[in-house]
């Protein structure tokens, strides 16, 4: 996933698509895109779904490559902080929830509303689906292991928003994938402060604990060119997608016309000469 501001600016979206291709990603989650409304569009061979508000603030989206888009069964804009998509796959369908959480200075009521919206997005999916929740959580979960939710490869000290995220994962049986892989330090942080005085991990990819073995790697990707203080987080997981085939529409015959119109009769009756 990636936190990209003001995606409506000229040339910004084209840069995102190019970076997605350069990084060889099948799915790219976008946070803080600052688009209004909700919809989908084709971007060359890519398909973008997005969910925004009434103003150019917040906003989330998911960008699919041509192969993955063929497995997109359905999607739903939840709010300007969440969008959910369902991919038809084997052995189970895959649900993707892209999020953009309230910042650390937001009121607690706004944070709780955000988690209620995650529950609403989960309700759009089936209980047996593989569910990935990804995006900018604006939370620090720290570098100390917490049960099987947080691994030892985090950064810094847990904060209040991080404790709320951990609590949600414990209740819903999710694990934070990019805290479990021992990557190089530059593959750990996801955000840097203005002037690069501080670096933290605030963007995460979550998956249900029972599917954690499907995750092969989860790390940050440096060097992306899109004028953002967040960097992409790459999560590689193993699943087989199914290509959806549109059902052929059965022709509907106008039987009344066939009975009453002499010209139509002669055209469709094999015994006429």
Here the CATH number for the domain that contains residue 217 is 3.60.10.10
Q: Is 48 part of a structural domain of the chain?
A: yes
Question: Residue 49 class from Cβ within 10 Å (0-12 exposed, 13-18 middle, 19+ buried)?
Answer: buried
Q: Is 17 part of a structural domain of the chain?
A: yes
Q: Is 159 part of a structural domain of the chain?
A: yes
Number of domains the chain is built from: 1
Supply the pLDDT for residue 253.
Answer: 47
Reported as a pLDDT band with limits 50, 70 and 90, residue 269 is: very low
Q: The tokens 């509907």 sit on which residue?
A: 252
pLDDT digits (tens, 9 = 90+) for 57-100: 899 999 999 999 999 999 999 999 999 999 999 889 999 999 99
Q: Is 273 part of a structural domain of the chain?
A: no
Supply the pLDDT for residue 247.
Answer: 58
The 3-state DSSP class for residue 220 equals strand
Q: Is 227 part of a structural domain of the chain?
A: yes
pTM of this structure: 0.83
Q: Is 234 part of a structural domain of the chain?
A: yes
128 lies in which domain range?
2-268
DSSP 8-class letter at 248: P
pLDDT above 80: residue 258: no
Share above pLDDT 90 across residues of the chain, in percent, rounded to a whole number: 54
CA 251 to chain centre: 38
Q: Rounded distance, CA 106 to CA 58, Å?
A: 13
Supply the pLDDT for residue 40.
Answer: 95
Supply the pLDDT for residue 23.
Answer: 87
Share above pLDDT 70 across residues of the chain, in percent, rounded to a whole number: 81
DSSP 8-class letter at 69: H
């Amino acid at each position: 996933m990636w936190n990209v501001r003001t995606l409506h600016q000229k040339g910004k979206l084209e840069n995102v698509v190019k970076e997605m291709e350069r990084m060889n990603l099948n799915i790219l989650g976008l946070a803080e895109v600052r688009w209004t409304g909700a919809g989908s569009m084709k971007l060359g061979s890519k398909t973008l779904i997005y969910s925004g508000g009434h103003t150019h603030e917040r906003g989330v989206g998911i960008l699919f490559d041509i192969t993955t888009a063929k497995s997109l069964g359905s999607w739903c804009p939840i709010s300007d902080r969440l969008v959910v998509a369902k991919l038809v796959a084997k052995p189970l369908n895959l649900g993707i929830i892209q999020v953009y959480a309230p910042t650390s200075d937001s009121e607690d009521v706004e944070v709780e509303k955000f988690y209620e919206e995650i529950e609403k997005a989960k309700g759009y999916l089936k209980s047996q689906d593989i569910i990935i929740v990804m995006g900018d959580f604006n939370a620090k979960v720290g570098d100390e292991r917490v049960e099987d939710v947080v691994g030892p490869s985090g950064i810094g000290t847990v904060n209040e928003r991080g404790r709320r995220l951990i609590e949600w994962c414990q209740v819903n049986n999710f694990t934070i994938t990019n805290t479990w892989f021992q990557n190089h330090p530059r593959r750990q942080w996801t955000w840097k402060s203005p002037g690069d005085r501080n670096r933290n991990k605030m963007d995460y990819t979550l998956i249900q604990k029972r599917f954690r073995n499907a995750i092969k790697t989860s790390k940050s990707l440096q060097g992306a060119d899109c004028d953002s203080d967040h960097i992409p987080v790459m999560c590689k997981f193993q699943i087989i997608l199914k290509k959806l085939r549109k059902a052929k529409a059965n022709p509907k015959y106008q039987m009344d016309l066939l009975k009453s119109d002499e010209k139509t009769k002669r055209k469709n009756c094999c015994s006429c000469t």
